Amino acid sequence: MSEKKNGFKPYIPAEKITPEFTITSVVMGLLLAVVFGAANAYLGVRVGMTVSASIPAAVISMGVIRMIMRKDSILESNMVQTIGSAGESLAAGAIFTMPALFLWAKEGVSEKPDLLTIGLIALCGGLLGVLFMVPLRNALIVKEHGVLPYPEGTACAKVLLAGEEGGSSAKTVFVGMGAAALFKFVVDGLKVVPGVITAPIKALKTEFSTEVYPALIGVGYICGLKISSYLFAGGILGWFVLIPAIVTFGGDSVLYPGTDTIANMYAEGGAGAIWSSYIRYIGAGMVAAGGIISLVKSLPLIGKTFVGAMKGIKGAGTAGTARTDRDIDMRLVVGGIIALIILIWLLPQIPVSFLGAVLIVVFGFFFGAVSSRMVGLVGSSNNPVSGMAIATLLFATLALKVTGDTGAHGMIGAISIGTIICIIAAMAGDTSQDLKTGYILGATPKKQQIGELLGAVIAALTIGGVLILLDSAWGFGTKELAAPQATLMKMIVEGVMDGNLPWSLVFIGVFIAVVIEILGINVLPVAIGLYLPLELSSTIMVGGLTRWFVDKKLKGGADDDAGSGILFCSGMIAGEGLVGIILAILAVAGVAGRFDLSKTLDTGIVGGVILMAAMIALVAVYGLKNNKKA
């Protein structure tokens, strides 16, 4: 047994059989997979960032199963979060790339993707991500126990073990969801408060702006002050250094890709016009360079990962007869992978050639293994999935171009390959975190793996509807849904295929990234802060400062893994995402205007400031009050 190999004993012994894969856990898990998948998709296309749903899914299941159903079954709660977090991970992988297909449709390059196309691409990526992780479990989870910490997986286990206290944690998540839902509806439903507060700074030829939305504050609180400050630093670099420099020195010059003079662009569109025409390309270069740098820095881990993975494959599924050692049969795993690759090649809805299918096998298992190990070291939040997607897109687009697969078909094929790889990497990382939680608790790996597959299926079946709904309501690439990661992926594919990128701006971003890395700072969050509009990074910074205030008041007394501030903000993110989906439905149905009170009750900037202060106070007070009980 694995327990004897490394001296570890799980919470539930291997010889003890308790309820785990039940109708209750499956139904709840699938429901949460849809809910958190939709919420994360909305958050991702708004700000280019997603958050883990494992802990909020765990506390919700724990509250329902223990407090409402009066059942004492920690493994059922674990199964719920296993299935539920799969939906969030698949959504995270999909939104980084798939909106590019909608953007091309608007430009007349291709047809708009339908539900079947999106669902099949997402399904293939989701299932492959789980299957690629199965043979790695023994090598990474069991043999590396005590070496790879798997922070989110370990934290989730702590939350579930702490669930013996009762349902207070689940209540915290639900209160956060309700509060954020109310705030979101006031801003975007009733429209009595502006969504963005902007202050022009004419002396610097720029402006400062911040959004009035709870999810962004929640993201900043969860990320903490350090990451939030890196994002904000990128915003300061773009809006208070580069934009003033371009406006000051550009004057009456016409600089590509702009079509008017810098002075006219600034006079008519303000700092936002300069950002759209120039800064986002510099940001794209920074993000691409940051993603590749993060991969290069992980190279020493890759060799060790593959050596361990190959050894793990040899004994996968047959490591022992104990319940806690059982994986899905390797014959089914290999057969499933082969079947999925054949489907990817042959299905007309997925425009991928045989070469593309081969690339998916190679890059898929490669990045699946790297992702699984990376999250074990630095956690899912720091897993460079977008960097893996960028590297894949660069190689795949070049390979397709060399083989003559160019134009719209080649670009769509490249994005399809990148999407599947991105989802594989996200799903493999999530699966490894969930298996770590199960290993600590004493879950059955085979049942968890089946749960992950079910979560991937339901998320794939619903993500297409969510993306189509959001595109119909507001459109990707707009102020409401910037879809920054997907826009970047689109730019990369077009730049390689057509050579139409302003490469001088891109390389300015690349070398800014190099300078930041030389200074010893993680460049990716800084790059994302430069690439995003300032109002996003400034609001995230507000959340980071709130977290710093709470932590300082508690003087280290808060439990970062299960602290109610984290849970409350996780609920806020989910609450805003769900109301965003509801408002999108109302917009498509043509009834959203019935709630619009902006013409009769517009509170202006004062209302925005008051609402922002209320959100900050609620997060701080709630976190302090509940964490003092811990």
The predicted-structure confidence for 135-170, as pLDDT tens digits, reads as follows 888 877 887 777 777 867 877 787 777 665 555 666
pLDDT of residue 451: 95
Bridge partners of residue 196, in order along the sequence: 211
The full DSSP string for 405-455 is --HHHHHHHHHHHHHHHHHHHHHHHHHHHHHHHHHHHT--HHHHHHHHHHH
pLDDT of residue 305: 53
Structure tokens at 254: 């016409």
Ranges of the chain with pLDDT below 50: 1-4, 317-319, 557-562, 629-630
pLDDT of residue 306: 55
Are 473 and 46 in contact by the 8 Å Cβ rule? The answer is: no
pTM of the model: 0.75
pLDDT of residue 146: 74
Q: Which among 588, 589, 582, 607 is positioned nearest to 597, based on CA atoms?
A: 607
CB count within 10 Å of CB 117 equals 21
Q: Which among 480, 538, 483 is positioned nearest to 209, based on CA atoms?
A: 538
How far CA 223 is from CA of 74, 137, 216, 302, in Å, comes to 28, 28, 11, 26
Q: What is the DSSP letter of 112?
A: P
Bridge partners of residue 199, in order along the sequence: 208
pLDDT of residue 489: 86
Q: Which among 94, 109, 12 is positioned nearest to 45, based on CA atoms?
A: 94
How far CA 300 is from CA of 136, 146, 164, 303, 304, in Å, comes to 18, 19, 41, 6, 7
Dihedral sign for Cα 544, 537, 86, 139, please: negative
Spatial CB neighbours of 446, under 8 Å, sequence gap ≥ 6 = 326, 327, 328
Integer Cα distance of 66 and 80 in angstroms: 13
pLDDT of residue 3: 46
